[in-house]
Amino acid sequence: MELNAVATTIFLVVLQIATFLAFAPFLTATIRRTKARLQSRRGPGLLQPYRDLAKWWAKLPLESNASGPVSRYAPAFVLAAVLAAALLVPFAANRAPLAGWGDLLVVVGLFAAARFALALAALDAGGAFGGMGSSRDVAISALAEPGLVLALAGAAVAANSSDLGAISAFGVWRGVGLLGPAHLLAAAAFAIVLVAETGHHPVDNPDTHLELTMIHEGMLIEASGRSLAMLVFASELKLVVLAAVFSAVFFPFGSATEIAAGPIAFGLLVGFGKLLVVGQVLALLDGSVAKLRLLRLPDLLGLASLLALTGLAVRVLLP
């Protein structure tokens, strides 16, 4: 690797890490603010997620007598896995900071590894809520991951590459011609999976601790202190990464095609705009759509897999 390429990689890594780490709590804050407005409430301030993370980080975690090393080290692993996935996703430019280190399958695998570690930590605490939440989350992920992989596979077939940067560059090159039937079907499937993976209506309620309804929150209920801060921040960061994947693969317009100050700055502004749009759509779903019963979730996630499979078939059979 040449020195110029090394400098470019370091620049993109530092820029993307700083951007995602700083923006992830803010995106969550905008979603909460919009939901509060829809319910005729004032809602928390835009800096409240930062205050919560600082408060939890200042406290030592409390562990139950049944907890072991898994509960102690799993939060750091979950956060590290999501951070690693974030560096494999293009955002400001149409190349990932760690381009060549992993493709879309690696990103999906890192999310699966983070979920597995979180489920183990919830079970390791020995609480009933953790076991219930982890079982529900794993069941939902088993239904959502086929749709996720199939939706991304359709884009990979079109770009003739599984690298997310190459897929984004292909989308920028195609322009409006990218938005064909197969592409829109895959985008719809990914949107459903994004809702499921981030725990929003109609799949999950991110603001509840009711036993009959909580899924993701059930796995965090035994966490406290710094462990809780890392898990909550990993959840906020996962939303940003998935939204970045969605925009880079299905709506890559506005991404920088060269590594220069002007295009990168414009790409950052466009990227922030896309993330905010995704956040506001999630807020509207939370405020206007009722949560589905658990027995109805396979129908919704099966629809995502069907849409993605149909898009992939159209892509292969009718190029």
Cα of 213 vs its chain's centroid, Å? 21
Contacts of 307 (CB under 8 A, 6+ apart): 147, 151, 185, 186, 188, 189, 192
CB 219 within 8 A of CB 130: yes
Phi/psi for 256 (5° steps) reads -70, 135
CB 198 within 8 A of CB 236: no
Nearest residue to 193 (alpha-carbon basis) of 89, 109, 294, 304: 304
Alpha-carbon distance 270 to 253, whole Å?
8
Q: Quick one: pLDDT at residue 14?
A: 94
Q: Quick one: pLDDT at residue 1?
A: 42
Residue 256's beta-bridge partner residues?
Answer: 93
Average pLDDT over residues 294-315: 94
Two tokens, residue 277: 């749009």
Give the tens place of pLDDT for each residue, 251-284.
999 998 888 889 999 999 999 999 999 999 999 9
Length of the chain measured in residues:
319
Give the tens place of pLDDT for each residue, 169-194.
999 999 888 889 999 999 999 999 99
Alpha-carbon distance 3 to 314, whole Å?
43
Q: Quick one: pLDDT at residue 2?
A: 44
Give the tens place of pLDDT for each residue, 103-139.
999 999 999 999 999 999 989 888 778 888 888 899 9
Alpha-carbon distance 97 to 14, whole Å?
9
At 287, is the pLDDT very low, low, confident or very high (cuts 50, 70, 90)?
confident
If you average pLDDT over every residue of the chain, what do you get? 91
Two tokens, residue 73: 């080290």
Q: Quick one: pLDDT at residue 319?
A: 62
Alpha-carbon distance 278 to 271, whole Å?
11
- For tokens 């299905």, the residue is 250
Instruction: Provide the phi-psi class of 289: left if phi over 0, else alpha when psi is between -120 and 50, else beta.
Output: beta
Question: What are the CA-CA distances from residue 114 to residues 45, 79, 177, 191 (Å)?
Answer: 29, 8, 36, 21
Phi/psi for 93 (5° steps) reads -115, 165
Global pTM? Answer: 0.94
Alpha-carbon distance 141 to 139, whole Å?
5
At 220, is the pLDDT very low, low, confident or very high (cuts 50, 70, 90)?
confident
Q: Quick one: pLDDT at residue 115?
A: 94
- For tokens 């078939």, the residue is 313
Q: Quick one: pLDDT at residue 66?
A: 79
Alpha-carbon distance 169 to 177, whole Å?
14
Average pLDDT over residues 213-222: 81
At 3, is the pLDDT very low, low, confident or very high (cuts 50, 70, 90)?
very low
Q: How is the chain split among helix, strand and coil, in percent rounded to 5?
A: 75, 0, 25
Average pLDDT over residues 32-55: 92
Average pLDDT over residues 198-219: 79
Element (H, E) at 55: helix 48-57
Alpha-carbon distance 95 to 85, whole Å?
14
Alpha-carbon distance 90 to 251, whole Å?
12
Nearest residue to 244 (alpha-carbon basis) of 215, 267, 262, 260: 267
Alpha-carbon distance 305 to 72, whole Å?
36
